[in-house]
Amino acid sequence: MTMTQQQAKGSYDAKDLWQKDKNHFIHPFTDFSVFHENGCDLITDSDGIYVEDAHGNRFIDGIAGLWCVNVGHGRAEIGQAMAEQATRMAYFSTFNNLSNAPATELAAKLSELAPAHLNHVFYSCGGSTANDATIRLVHYYFNRLGKPSKKRILSRTNAYHGTTYMAASLTGIASNNWQFDTLDLVTHLSEANCYRRPEGMSEAEYCDHLVDELEQTIDRLGADNIAAFIAEPIMGAGGVLVAPQGYHSRVQAICRANDILFIADEVVTGFGRLGHFFASEAVFETQPDIINVAKGLSSGYAPLGATLISDALYAVLSTPQGPGGVLSTGFTYSGHPVSCAAALKNIEIIEREGICENVREVGPYLESKLKTLASHETVGDIRGSHFMMAIENVANKTTKELLPVDARVGDRVAAEAQKRGLIIRPVGHLNIISPPLIWTRQVVDDVVAILDEAFAATTRSLKADGYL
């Protein structure tokens, strides 16, 4: 840690900062039932796998900021790359046939890393805007082909694709859109939830069941009215749901047969979380027409999203509409040079340090150690893959009945873990672990020991309050 960083540590007036935050900052996904009284925990410092709050308390980061700080916190060389680019040229437009060096180099690098047919990159500012921009481009693509009726998008219940208007409409988590409007362009299919599949149905039969539903939906809506199917390779905020074996490749084959584009939302799974830069082909044996990325693209050091587009789609999108016609979509910050410089350095670190290899080695160990928590009374399911895991809390393991919402079981577990120096994410009855990709086996052992105590304490508190 540099002297400047040491001098900065502890320089905040924690009480003043807490009050200002409570008075003025509208946080994403604010729980106003507790925020007005409790405010927020203010994270002020970070280093490697650790973060520190305004009071000097240190925690293991078990969520990588928000699925995104893949290379860990405090990477000075990323900060330096950003500073050098900012002082050389912080910003210039990429509209109207203008470009910049980092955006160009990053587009070439992403094309190199992605499945071979994805050689064209459209930049946005994050995951939501990547998904939003993608749907606009998909509709434009079919308009250009003379198929303007192909507008409907197939998504899935409990999918998470963002909170901009179109992305929120793609998102299938009901609570995300309570009293918010959505666009009537999306049909949601069933989630692929192996833990809660119909009683007596094998995983293979469950896959058949989900595929049948897709085929029936296409028949009902008409393939001529459907533009695309969008899916996360593993569902993230919707519960870290891993589809049955073969699901994604079968869905893609059905989409191809019906002239429906297959979009992989790799905002979470991309850049190493499952042990590969892109999971679609390497893990799930699919070749999407479009892959969307953000989060781990820059490891959260700067806002950046990207849509990777196939050669076949680009051939249509890049054909001039006519004299004076342009591809009239984009963002002021598309291909922002400072963000792209951060992403380039981030990718360099992932490659140089073998971070994907670390995930492939430590990830299965994390899975196996977390499964030891199944002995706790409230732990119903432990699922996920590599550095993308979730624990589902239940009232009854046999019936899989959930605890009442007001038990706030996920919050209880997270609070008990935080008391012991670990931050994990509560999502209703779930707890999510999605750490920086530099965790070692020793860190895994330390984390699971904390979680063991946290679940035991949670069970005691639930019993004391009459929920168990």
Q: What is the pLDDT of residues 87-108, one digit of tens each?
A: 999 999 999 999 999 999 999 9
Angstrom distance (rounded) from CA 259 to CA 32: 45
Average pLDDT, the chain: 96
What would the mean pLDDT of 177-196 be, rounded to a whole number?
Answer: 97
Q: What is the C-alpha separation between 57 and 208, in angstroms, rounded?
A: 50
Q: Give the pLDDT band (50/70/90) at residue 325.
A: confident
The mean pLDDT value for 213-228 works out to 98
pLDDT tens, residue by residue, 337-376: 999 999 999 999 999 999 999 999 999 999 999 999 999 9
pLDDT value at 78 more than 60: yes
**Tens digit of each residue's pLDDT (9 = 90 or more) over 222-237:** 999 999 999 999 999 9
- Provide the pLDDT for residue 439: 98
User: Residue 5: which pLDDT band, with cuts at 50, 70 and 90?
Assistant: very low
Instruction: Say whether pLDDT at 8 is over 70.
Output: no
- Nearest Cα neighbor of 227 from 305, 330, 147 is 147
Distance CA 309, CA 119 (A): 7
**Stretch(es) of the chain classified as CATH 3.40.640.10:** 77-353
In degrees rounded to 5, what are phi and psi of residue 432?
A: -110, 135
Asked if the model's pLDDT at residue 292 lies above 50, the reply is yes
Query: In this prediction, what percent of the chain has a pLDDT beyond 70?
Result: 98
Q: Is the confidence at residue 430, as pLDDT, over 80?
A: yes
Residue 210 half-sphere exposure, CB side, CA atoms within 13 Å? 30
Which superfamily does 14-74+355-465 belong to? Aspartate Aminotransferase, domain 1 (3.90.1150.10)
Model pLDDT, residue 10: 54
Q: What is the reported pLDDT for 9?
A: 56
pLDDT value at 414 more than 70: yes
Nearest to 82 by CA among 239, 300, 258: 300
Pairing of strands 152-156, 118-124: unpaired
CA distances to 102, 155, 248 from 433, rounded to whole Å, are 32, 24, 24
- Measured CA to CA, the distance from residue 155 to residue 231 in angstroms comes to 6
What pLDDT sits at residue 2?
35
How far is Cα of residue 234 from the mean position of the Cα atoms in its chain? 9
pLDDT score for 3: 29
Q: Is the model's pLDDT at 4 over the cut of 80? A: no
Percent of the chain whose pLDDT exceeds 90? 94
Instruction: In the chain, list all ranges with CATH 3.90.1150.10.
Output: 14-74+355-465
Tokens of 165: 């208007």
Range 77-353 classified under CATH 3.40.50.850 = no
**Per-residue model confidence (pLDDT) at position 76:** 98
CA distance from start to end of the chain: 47
